[in-house]
A = this chain, B = another copy of it.
Amino acid sequence: MEKENALNALAALGQETRLDVFRLLVKAGNEGMTAGAISDALDVRPNTLSTHLGALSRCGLVQAERDGRSICYRANLKTMRVLVTYLLQDCCGGNPELCAPFLNMAKTAPCDGANDC
């Protein structure tokens, strides 16, 4: 269950357009961007973008919220933290304390509430 989600998130980010979209939304921060604005900014056809936004949304990397006729998308950094934590789980086998600082950072709350993280 946990693995499936991590796998989907990583596969989602491992595609150029989706990586561009995610990074654009990370930059946009808490304001987010509408699908149309993303489409314009990255020069990707609306229907193609919609497919990619669906993939990012399904694995929790972005969140969608309707705003009138438009739909606003925001990056969800919480999922990023879960992802990094999953990747570094049980780091260094018998000596987990060696990697604790790295893992801890994945747990600390950054952003003071912005981006839901």
A37 within 8 A of B: no
Is B15 in contact with A87, judged by CB distance below 8 angstroms? Answer: no
From 12 to 36 in chain A, residues with beta carbon under 8 angstroms from any chain B beta carbon are: 12-16, 19, 22-23, 26-31
Chain B proximity mask over A89-117: 1 for CB below 8 Å, otherwise 0: 11111110011111111101111101101
- Nearest B residue to A112 via CB reads B98
Chain B residues within 8 Å of A87, by CB: 13, 22-23, 26, 80
Q: How many copies does the complex hold?
A: 2
- Chain A interface mostly: helix
Residues of the B chain whose Cβ atoms lie less than 8 Å from the Cβ of A19 = 3, 6-7, 10
Q: Are B26 and A88 in contact (CB under 8 A)?
A: yes
B10 to A10, Cβ gap below 8 A?
yes
> Besides the contacts A80-B84, A92-B114, what 16 more A-B pairs have beta carbons closer than 8 Å?
A7-B14, A7-B15, A7-B16, A11-B15, A23-B87, A26-B90, A27-B90, A27-B92, A29-B95, A77-B88, A80-B87, A99-B110, A99-B111, A99-B115, A102-B111, A104-B105
